[in-house]
Homo-oligomer: A and B are copies of this chain.
Amino acid sequence: MLDPVSRVRRFNRAVTSAVGALDTSFLGRGRPLGAARVLNAIGHSRADVGEIRDYLGLDSGLMSRLLRSLEDEGLIETTAHADDARRRIANLTPAGKREFNAYEAISNRQAKDFLSHHTQREALLAAMDLIASALGRDGTALTEMDPRSDEARYCLGEYYAELARRFKQGFDVKLSRDPDAKDMVRPRGSFIVAMSDGLPIGCVGLKGSSSEFAEIKRLWVAPAARGLGLGRRLMDAAENAACELGIAVLRLDTNSALAEAGQLYRRTGWSEIPRFNDDPYPDLFFEKHL
């Protein structure tokens, strides 16, 4: 009666009808769902027509017609791509922006309604995060970013906050050898953020130095995305970046309080080495030859 499969299926049924309700609420603006979806994709700053087509899984003929109908309504304008005149770029007109905002308002109000009807807000949100990460796993993109970008700084903030929670003595960034952002930018190093559907859910830094090794720093995965192999993917990406930069030896330090991290390193070919710095927080040190 309560086997895992029927629990998953109960969830599927609940969610199917919820999605149906969400879809029909979009019909209120007098536009078929297909056109509304395209308008929303453009509003969410997807401009390239081909990209939208892929994202929504549409046939090119259908896509073209939907674009035309939005254009006829005066909601979008299309122009040729600057570098490649075959490709088309779609943008919202002021009227289109108003219409897009109306759809946004519907979505936001529904989300707010849903939350306001339940007392277990935080638990619900955490559950939703977890499931969204699990479902969107293949949609999680690892992208190299500047460590001073908003997304990167959000990740780092969460990372520091988590260290502060998990270390008995707390954590103060200033006491740690905070890597200079420039050391985590090409050509010296790299900083990789995992983005899931617009939200940053993980990061890792590759800190180049003038010594004979580079360091892996700031590996973090959002609690909602743990257990899905994202840490490993981030580490792989960082090691790849290191290869590209011609780095032969990687080191990292960590703390035994972060048990998952230690496990990950051991399982992916890192070997423990003696302390190689005097940072007060780490008590475990690893090295890997690429």
Q: Is A85 an interface residue (CB 8 A)?
A: no
Please classify the interface of chain A as helix (H, G, I), strand (E, B), loop, or mixed, using the class held by over half of its residues: helix
Q: Which of B120, B154, B199 contacts A227 (CB 8 A)?
A: B120
Q: Which of A6-14, A64-72, A171-179, A268-276 contacts B (4 or more CB under 8 A)?
A: A6-14
Q: What's the Cα separation between A175 and B212 when bound, in Å?
A: 71
Give the nearest-CB partner of A196 in chain B: B10
Q: Is A228 an interface residue (CB 8 A)?
A: yes
Q: What's the Cα separation between A210 and B43 when bound, in Å?
A: 69
Q: Given A15-B135, A115-B4, are A130 and B121 neighbors across the interface (CB < 8 Å)?
A: no
Q: Nearest Cβ in chain B — how far from A12, in angstroms?
A: 6
Give the nearest-CB partner of A224 in chain B: B7
Q: Nearest Cβ in chain B — how far from A11, in angstroms?
A: 4
Q: Tell whether, in the assembled complex, residue A114 and residue B199 are in contact, meaning their CB atoms are under 8 Å apart.
A: no
Q: What's the Cα separation between A288 and B34 when bound, in Å?
A: 56
Q: Given A134-B118, A227-B119, are A199 and B11 neighbors across the interface (CB < 8 Å)?
A: no
The 0/1 profile, CB within 8 Å of B marked 1, for residues 214-233 of chain A is 00000000000011110000
Give the top 3 A-B pairs by smallest Cβ distance, nearest first.
A120-B227, A127-B127, A8-B111
